[in-house]
Amino acid sequence: MADYYQILGVDKNATQEEVKKAYRKLAHKFHPDKNPGDKSAETKFKEINNAYEVIGDPKKRNDYNRFGANTNQYQQYAQGRGANTSGFGGFEGVDFNFGQGGQGWFGDINDVFESFFGAGFNGGTRQNSNFSQQKGVDIEMKIDLTLEEAAKGVKKKFNYKHNIKCEHCEGKGHEPDSSVKTCNTCHGKGRVYQRVETIFGTIQQETQCPECEGVGKLYDKKCNVCTGKGFNKANDNIEIDIPVGVDTGDKIRVNGKGEAGYKNSNPGDLYLMVNILKHNHLSRDNQDINSSIKVNYFDFLLGTQVDVYTVWGEVEIKIPAGTSPDKKLRLKNQGMPSLNNSRNKGDHYLQLIPMMPKKLTKKQIKSLEKLKDEVE
């Protein structure tokens, strides 16, 4: 690996200003626009930019001085950090130091280009290793559950329409007997470069090849069923295990059950948005359940037994004699389980509501008055 100081023709103790002047002079001399078709000049220009990207930045220069030009540690460091200005036009003498370590207002030099041209820019060339891998879109569906289903877990069957991989071509987008040839536009790379005029100058932008749609190959026969997309709209039947303890707002992810990807790319996912239906008798408070029951006023005095409905079924509870009318009883472990853990349950709280007699006979009133005197 060549020494960066030698590439720029400066001494190791050169000031940052001297480094910048040397870079400007060499970049102007070997710029591709001034040497059209000269591969050696293009290579030299890349070396100059790579060198300046490191020693033109005080922090990176310090790291470079520590690790040296020929160590594996530095090679990994230099390849993994900062912006690479190779491929730029109109950037002679521009200082790309936006702050400490190449970071400043935009956080990183790449953020500048991403803010104008989208994610993936690295030193003026938009990087994308495989344009043809267009993952399918995720799908969201609402799923209504009763409180009992949420408590116990349940299997749910769904039928929904979405893009499914074409069975005829196995998602490839072409007929099985198609002949194949390398795309002449991108020469099999799936990517092409175009020059874009920007406020920074001329940017060489990497985009998906429009001829082969990023595949790098051309087939003479598109699939007759999916017309080359690799998928078709169809009904899909699935059965899903709903875990115990889910609540409204929870998401259940079903891998690979979203829209099919373009030409055999990975499918998206299906997200089930949980909605717990309103119950006629019960209300939920996280893991606890609340309900109420009307109790005859005399039963508070004399005591009784009542059947109480819970998410787990009916249970019989005892109301002791002399129970206060405003009493709230706790039914331990009769509430909702925590998510995916049926053993960890909340409680069921039962509010007792007294039912007062609407009308008493004279005989009943005398009996109550007598009882009152005896109690006092």
263: enclosing H helix or E strand: none
State which residues form the domain around 304: 283-375
Say what the pLDDT of residue 101 is: 38
Residue with tokens 């540690």: 73
The pLDDT confidence band at residue 298, using thresholds 50, 70 and 90, is confident
Check whether residue 321 and residue 357 sit in a common domain. Answer: yes
Q: Give the pLDDT of residue 367.
A: 81
Range name among 43-52, 124-133, 175-184, 204-213 with the lowest pLDDT average:
124-133
Please give the distance of CA 196 from its chain centroid, rounded to a whole number: 31
C-alpha dist (Å) from residue 289 to 241, 276, 326: 23, 13, 18
pLDDT of residue 111: 45
Inform me whether the pLDDT recorded for 116 exceeds 60. Answer: no
Neighbours of 212 (CB within 10 A): 24
Please state the rounded mean pLDDT for residues 187-211. Answer: 80
Confidence check: pLDDT of 92 > 80: no
For the domain that residue 10 is a member of, what is the CATH number? Answer: 1.10.287.110
Q: Is the Cβ–Cβ distance between 85 and 41 less than 8 Å? A: no
- In terms of domains, do 140 and 271 share one? yes
Question: Which pLDDT does position 162 carry in this prediction?
Answer: 94
Q: CB within 8 A of 76, min separation 6: which ones?
A: none
What mean pLDDT is predicted for residues 118-128?
44
Going by C-alpha positions, the residue among 218, 216, 213 that lies closest to residue 178 is 218
Q: Is the dihedral of CA 16, 22, 26, 28 positive or negative?
A: positive
Residues 74 and 148 in one domain: no
The verdict on 332 and 346 lying in the same domain is yes
Could you give the number of structural domains in the chain? 4
Q: What is the pLDDT of residue 68?
A: 60
Does 236 share its domain with 328? no
CA distance 238 to 143: 13
pLDDT value at residue 108:
43
Say if residue 73's pLDDT is above 50: no
My answer on whether 81 and 186 are in the same domain is no
Q: What is the dihedral of CA 25, 28, 30, 33, to 10 degrees?
A: 180
Contacts for 281 with CB less than 8 Å, ≥ 6 apart = 291, 309
Instruction: Give the Cα separation of 374 and 376 in Å (integer).
Output: 5
The CA distance from 337 to 13, in Å, is: 69
Do 21 and 121 share a domain, yes or no?
A: yes
Q: What is the DSSP string of 125-189?
A: EE--S-TT-BPPPPEEEEEEE-HHHHHH-EEEEEEEEEEEE-TTTTTSSB-TT--EEE-TTTTTS
Q: Do residue 266 and residue 153 come from a single domain?
A: yes
Global pTM value: 0.56
What type of residue is 316?
E
Last residue of a domain, one of 236, 258, 277: 277
The domain that holds 265 is classified in CATH as 2.60.260.20
Confidence of residue 304 (pLDDT cuts 50, 70, 90): very high
pLDDT (average), residues 144-168: 93
Q: For 86-91, what is the mean pLDDT?
A: 38
Regarding whether 140 and 244 lie in a shared domain, the answer is yes
Q: Is residue 44's pLDDT more than 60?
A: yes
- Confidence (pLDDT) at 200: 63
pLDDT at position 67 is 63
- Evaluate whether 49 touches 84 at the Cβ level (below 8 Å): yes
The CA radius of gyration of the chain, in Å to the nearest whole number, is: 37
Average per-residue pLDDT for the chain: 80
Burial letters for 1-38: b for 16+ Cβ neighbours within 10 Å, e otherwise?
A: eeebbebbebeeebeeeebbebbeebbeebbbeeeeee
What are the φ/ψ torsions at residue 168 (nearest 5 degrees)? Answer: -65, -45
pLDDT surpassing 60 at residue 234: yes
Neighbours of 374 (CB within 10 A): 7
* CB neighbour class for 330 (10 Å; exposed up to 12, middle 13-18, buried from 19): exposed
Statement to judge: residues 141 and 184 lie in one domain: no
Element holding 251 (H helix, E strand): strand 251-254
The answer to whether residues 26 and 102 belong to one domain is: yes
148 and 253 in a single domain? The answer is: yes
| Strand-pair partners of 237 | 159
Q: Which of 67-81, 244-258, 260-274, 321-335 has the lowest mean pLDDT?
A: 67-81
Q: How far apart are CA 71 and CA 263, in angstroms?
A: 43
Which pLDDT score is estimated for 75?
A: 42
- What are the CA-CA distances from residue 99 to residues 65, 74, 77, 375 (Å)? 19, 21, 18, 87
The Cα-based distances of 366 to 31, 120, 326, 356 in angstroms read 113, 91, 26, 17
Q: Choose the final residue of a domain: 234, 253, 277.
A: 277
